[in-house]
Structure formats: C-alpha cells, structure tokens
Amino acid sequence: MPYTKRRRLVTTAVAVALGATALAACGSSDNSKTESGPVSLTYWTWTPGMDKVVDLWNKGPGKKDQITVTVKKQASGDTLVTKILTAHKAKKAPDLVQAEYQALPTLVSNDALADISKEVGDAKSKFADGVWQQTTLGTDAVYAVPQDIGPMMFYYRADLFKKYGLKVPTTWEQFAETARALKKKAPDKALTTFSANDSGLFAGLAQQAGAKWWTTSGDKWKVAIDDAATQKVAKFWGGLVKEGAIDNQAMYQPAWNKALDTGKEIAWVSAVWAPGTLTTAAPDTKGKWAMAPLPQWSETEHVTGSWGGSSTAVTTDSQHQAAAAKFAAWLNTDGDALNALAKEGGIYPASTSAQTSGAFSNPPAFFSNQADFYTKAAEIAKTTAPSAWGPNVNVAYATFNDAFGTAAKNKSDFAAALKTMQDATVADMKKQGFGVSQ
C-alpha cells in the first residue's frame, strides 16, 4: 500500500463529547424515504483518487438511477471523526462517510450512522464473516459496507533466514525460539521489534488471540482490555523484550528503517499493506522478503488479526439514505469499482472476490519473487478474527502508547501497562456517561 500512516488511528482525543446512550439503542433511522427525481449525494473520504472511482458511478449506474455523488476530500483518523460528529450535531453531516472500523461504535453511539441493513444486507456474502461483523457491531443492524482491510501476516528476509538456518515459525512459541536462535548466531541482529508507537498492531495481535475489548449487555458496556487473551499477548511480547530476544524500538523512525534496510532486523509482524512501507523504509532489500501466515497460539489454529481498514457508511442526516446505501454497496462490491479503488487508491479490498483479481493478479513489485503473494493473502484474509471495538478507542490507544512506550523502553512489566490501559479506558467511559459493567 502506498500510504501506510492513514491505516493507523490518530490518537489525539476526539474533541466532541461522546453521546452517553447505549449502543443498542442508537443508529436507527427511517430508511423508508422514497427517492424520486435526481439525487445529489456528498461523500467525505480520504482515499486517494476516489474522485476518479466515483466518476465511474456518475457516468454509469448512478447516471441511470439519477444519483450523483460528489467527493469531498478529508483528513483521516480522529480528525474526521470529530468533524463528522460536529457536523452531525448541527444536523449537517454529509450523506456518506468513510470510517475506520474502530471508529464505528463512536459514530453509532452518537446516532450519526444509519442502519442500512435493508438496503445492503445481501452484500454480506461478499465479505469474510469477521470483516462483515465489524460493520454490524454484533447486532442485526448494518452500519456500513466494508471497503478495505488489513489482515495481518508475517514478513521475513528469506535470504537471511536461509543464511542463519532459521525456519519460518508457525506458532508463537516457535517465533520466540527463532528470535533466541538468531541472537545466539548473530548477537548484533534481532528478529524484529516490539513497537509501542502503533497501538493498531497490538490490538490486532490481541484480536488474533481471541480478545474482545468492548462488548455490550443490555444498556451497559463491558470493557475487557486486560482479558486473558490480551494478557497472554502482553506477557509474551514483554518477556521477549525483557530478555533482549527482540528489539524494543519504535517503528516508522529512521533507526527502524535503517535496521530493516541493513538486515539488522530480519522480520516484521505486519499487515497486507506492508510492501508499500518496505518499499520506502528498506528500498535496498527489494526481492529479498517473503510473506507467510501469522504464527498461531496452537498448531491447530488458523486465524489472523486485523490492522487497519475502513468502511463506507450512510449518515442519519442524509435525506437520501436508500440512494446513499445503493452507492456504498456498488463502491465496495462492483468489480470495476474495486479495480479502480485498488489502482487509484492503493487499497486492499474487503470484498473476497476482488482480492485475487484485477489489480491483485500479480504480486507487489517489492515481492516479485513471491508469485502467490495475493493468493496467499486472500486465504489469510478469510481467517480474520471478529473484532470488538468501543466508543473510546482513541483513549485506549493513547494510553497504550504512553504505558507500553514506557514499559518497552524500560523493559518493565507489560501486564502492568495493560492494566493502566484498562483502567484509563473505563474511567473515560464513566466520565462520558456510559454505563459500564464490571
């Protein structure tokens, strides 16, 4: 992917106070409004080249249905969430918005997104269950149509693995053994790093382990960021950092780029968009990397986490929700639209049928040595675990950066950092007026 940073949730606090209503009671709207005559829709999105993709609609299906869509470019992350909530407060939100999956509960809790299940419900078969679930929030409603995803996988320097006689780990236990074996053979190198500057990576690893950080019961939320699954992940990575088996420096920094480019670090736990990052971070290593499924917690498991991705949602302020939903479904399920999104926007589509066709029939240029890159990626994507996001992901993520950042730097207790993350998230939700069960 050519633009990695937009896949990471910006962790500045959302300026607009979150609504205190329970998730189950929000997001309902009247989708029975009939459309007659020309309809003009506005779409807020950050995806590069989206105007060219929308042109296909305006000249094709949209023209036939007399539905015209206008793209309004926006920033991503919390900046856009804040803007949407501010506009919604004045009843002036656009018809359609691009929203990261982890932002959906915040928008739904503020009654900013319409339930479009009646219009797009039959699109469910186009997506992996774990991906579709992110737009339903575990309810019968559908608050968005999946657009792009970030299934996680394991990247490694094939040449250096061969040089040091290392096997590609299929379990996390083997991953730890591989890290230790490399340190013994080449003390100046590290298998990888634990980075505390990207909470999305940790969230995806916890998701793979079975974590469900936010769930609802009746009119209350349950926050379980320090559940057994996440504790297992935190203790695993904290143990490797403490013993010095892996590095503890932040990703996306010059030192990290150099470590990848020079072979000081020889692997990276990342997502499907990693080739784009490696292209700029480690340009001298082109053709030397390979991709494999994420290591598993047991040999019998086949599951991955998700790191990044977004959806197309219809707002409750839209006067043309049925028309907007029709466009959202077309954008993310039509073959021509998906090929254009891949070409113009550099996305990895959520639609399973698009993951091995069109723009994905050949491997990324950086991985030209792995002809089956996208075939393998599509198989991994099907195993995406369900997620469980809440209404204050920004607070949880910001606390992660602070608490785990300190723990990684000092090689101290990751479990204590996890408790800090849990406590801060619960305290913020109570402060915002949400009902929280213990």
Whole-angstrom Cα Rg for the chain: 22
- Rounded to 10 degrees, the C-alpha dihedral 11/17/22/27 comes to -90
Element housing 156 (H / E): strand 145-157
Query: What whole-number distance in Å separates Cα of residue 408 and Cα of residue 238?
Result: 7
Strands 67-73 and 39-45: parallel
DSSP state for residue 33 in the 8-state scheme: P
Cβ count within 10 A of residue 436: 16
> Distance (Å, rounded) from C-alpha 119 to C-alpha 322?
7
- Local confidence pLDDT in tens for the 438 residues of the chain: 333 333 333 333 333 333 444 454 444 444 444 456 799 999 999 999 999 999 999 999 999 999 999 999 998 888 999 999 999 999 999 999 999 999 999 999 999 999 999 999 899 999 999 899 999 988 899 999 999 999 999 999 999 999 999 999 999 999 999 999 999 999 999 999 999 989 999 999 999 999 999 998 888 999 999 999 999 999 999 999 999 999 999 999 999 999 999 999 999 999 999 999 999 999 999 999 999 999 999 999 999 999 999 999 999 999 999 999 999 999 999 999 999 999 999 999 999 999 988 889 999 999 999 999 999 999 999 999 999 899 999 999 999 999 999 999 999 999 999 999 999 999 999 999 999 986
- In terms of Cβ atoms closer than 10 Å to its own Cβ (0-12, 13-18, 19+), residue 61 is middle
Residue 16 CA to its chain's centroid (Å) = 23
282 Cβ neighbours under 8 A, 6+ residues apart = 257, 260, 261
Q: Which of 355, 365, 331, 420 is nearest to 2 (CA)?
A: 365
What gap in Å lies between CA 338 and CA 410, rounded to an integer? 45
Structure-token pair, residue 160: 């250096």
pLDDT of residue 121: 86
- What is the rounded distance in angstroms from the CA atom of residue 253 to the CA atom of residue 50? 29
Token pair belonging to 367: 């991985």
Q: Quick one: tokens of 66?
A: 């007399």
DSSP string, 205-274: HHHHTT---EEEETTEEEE-TTSHHHHHHHHHHHHHHHHTSSB-PPTTSHHHHHHHHHTSB-EEEEETTH
Q: Which of 309, 302, 311, 312 is nearest to 273 (CA)?
A: 309
- Give the model's pLDDT for residue 16: 36
Are 97 and 313 in contact, with CB atoms under 8 Å apart?
Answer: yes
Residue 354 DSSP label = G
The pLDDT assigned to 35 comes to 57
Cα 183 from Cα 261, distance rounded (Å): 18
Q: Max CA-CA distance within the chain?
A: 72
Element (H, E) at 422: helix 414-432
Q: Counting beta carbons within 10 angstroms of the beta carbon of residue 188, is it exposed (0 to 12), middle (13 to 18) or buried (19 or more)? A: exposed
